[in-house]
Structure 1
C-alpha cells in the first residue's frame, strides 16, 4: 500500500474516534501519531499523556515537554505530565523477564484513569508494524487494557513513520529509536536510581563525542565492565575516531575497567 493510502486510512481511523488521548513519549512514533491526531481532529480534541520518571534521560524529558512549541503549536497542546515512580514497584526493580510488561501495564493504567477526567473515551499508542516483529512484552499490556494502535491499523512500518514525519516537518523525524534506561541493565540485576543516572551520564558523554543514539549496557553488578552499542552507521567513524583514547579515559575515570563494543550494534 502506498504511503498516501496509509495516511488517508490513518486519518480516517482518527476521525472515527472523535476525541483521543495519545500515550506520548516524544519519540518518532508517538510524535507522528500526535501530529496526525492534531491535524485531523483539532487541538481541542487531543490530549497528550506523558509519564515522567527516573527511567528517562533528562534530554528526552525536555524534548517531550517542549514538543508542541518546536513543531508549530506556539499556543501549546493539552498535555498531562504524570509523575511516575517505577522504582517503587517491587515487580519492576527486581528486573525479571516481564519487567516491560508490568511497567507498561502500570503506566497505561494510570493513563486510562485520566480519560474520564478529560472527557476522552480512547487511548492511543504509537506502536508500528515493525514493533510486532520483535519481542515486546509491553504489547501484551496494551492489548489487555484496550489501547488502540492506529499506526498498526493503517499499516505503518518504521520507514513509513519517518517518511511521513519528514513530509509533515516534524523536527525529530530522523532521531534514533529510544528506550528507557532500564533496558541497559541485564535481567536479574536490580534497577536502582544510581545505575540509571550512571548510564545516562555515560551515554551523554558519548553523544558529545558525536555518537548519537548509542547505548551503554552494564555487564556486571559493580559497573566496572560495560558494553557500547552503536548504530550501524557509526562503526566506521568509531574505529577511526581520534578521540577514542579520550573516551576510554573518560570511562576509566568513572570506575569502568573494561569497555567492550557490541559488533552487532543496534
Structure 2
C-alpha cells in the first residue's frame, strides 16, 4: 500500500505542474522520467510533450519500452537524435563524462522547447540522485532545466510508491542508466563497445535476470547480479554456453562479480582517490 507521504508528494507534484503553462519532459522511459511524464500529462494534457533522445548509448529495447509507456500514458512523444559520440570530451570517458552527455541533451532540448513555446524543460532527477556523483545534473541546471522530483525531495523509493499509486505497471522497472556507465573512467567509449555490452545485457535478461549490469573493461565482461541471485545463477546457467555467447559478441573473458550488483559501483574509484 502507498504511504501517506507518497500521496502527499503526488499532490505536491501535481500542484507544481499546475503552475506551468507548457512543459517539455526529458523522457528516457525510466521509472523516474516516466512518472514525471505521467503527472505532467495528467495535469497539462496536450500542453506536455515527452522528448526521447536517441543515440548509441540507448538500447533499442529501451526505446521500445519508452514508446509503449508513453502511448499508454497518452502523452505525445517525439524522438531527437543527440550527437554526444562526436564529442571527444565524452568518448574519452573522463570522470565527468555525464556532464558532456547531459550538455548535449539539454543543448538539443532547450532550443526545441523555445521554438515550440514550452516554457519549461523538466527531467526525472530524484532526490537520491543528488547524493551520488552526477555531474550531468549540473549541466542540466546550467541550461535552466527543472527537476520536480528532486525539488520536492522525492526519493527513488517514493517514485516507485507514487508510480504504484497511479497504477503504472512498470513501477518496479529496474534502473537502466545509459550504456556508457558500464565502462571504467578513462577507457574510450565506441559504438561497437556500447552495442557489445548492450547485447550482453539483453541476452541475460532473456534468461530471466532483470536487475543486472555487464561491466566492460577492454576485452573482459564482468557480470553483476544481486547478491541473492549469484548462487542460483552459477547453479542454473549453462556457463560454457554463456561464455560462448559473450565471446561471440566480442569479449575474450567473462567473469562474475562476487560482491554483486551495486548502483554506481564504478564511482568507488573516485572515493578511493579522495
Q: Deviations over 1:38-62 (max 9, x none)?
A: 11122x1101111111111110011
Q: Classify 1:23/1:113 alpha carbon distance in 2 versus 1 (closer, same or farther; 3 Å).
A: same
* Cα distance in 1, alignment partners of residues 249 and 143 from structure 2: 42
Aligned match of 2:223: 228
Q: Deviations over 1:108-133 (max 9, x none)?
A: 11100111221111111111111111
Q: Classify 1:241/1:84 alpha carbon distance in 2 versus 1 (closer, same or farther; 3 Å).
A: same
3-state SS of the aligned residue for 1:212? Answer: coil
Q: Classify 1:255/1:12 alpha carbon distance in 2 versus 1 (closer, same or farther; 3 Å).
A: closer
* Cα distance in 2, alignment partners of residues 157 and 208 from structure 1: 29
Q: CA deviation at 1:78?
A: 2.3
CA contact (8 A) 1:86 1:92 kept: yes
Q: CA deviation at 1:253?
A: 4.2
Q: Which runs of 5+ in 1 are unaligned?
A: none
CA contact (8 A) 2:24 2:49 kept: yes
- How many residue pairs match? The answer is 258
The two structures have a TM-score, normalised by structure 1, of 0.91
CA contact (8 A) 2:120 2:145 kept: yes
Q: Which runs of 5+ in 2 are unaligned?
A: 263-274
* Cα distance in 2, alignment partners of residues 242 and 264 from structure 1: 16
* Cα distance in 2, alignment partners of residues 184 and 101 from structure 1: 16
Matched, 1:249 2:244: yes
Match of 2:261 among 239, 243, 265: 265
CA contact (8 A) 2:16 2:148 kept: yes
CA contact (8 A) 1:209 1:243 kept: no
Match of 2:134 among 133, 136, 149: 136
Q: CA deviation at 1:105?
A: 1.0
Q: CA deviation at 1:63?
A: 1.2
CA contact (8 A) 2:213 2:261 kept: no
* Cα distance in 2, alignment partners of residues 50 and 231 from structure 1: 29
CA contact (8 A) 1:26 1:60 kept: yes
Aligned match of 2:189: 191
Q: CA deviation at 1:15?
A: 0.7
* Cα distance in 2, alignment partners of residues 255 and 56 from structure 1: 19
3-state SS of the aligned residue for 2:19? Answer: helix
* Cα distance in 2, alignment partners of residues 246 and 168 from structure 1: 41
RMSD: 1.7
Match of 1:65 among 47, 67, 75: 67
Q: CA deviation at 1:242?
A: 4.0
The two structures have a TM-score, normalised by structure 2, of 0.88
Aligned match of 1:41: 44
Q: CA deviation at 1:216?
A: 1.2
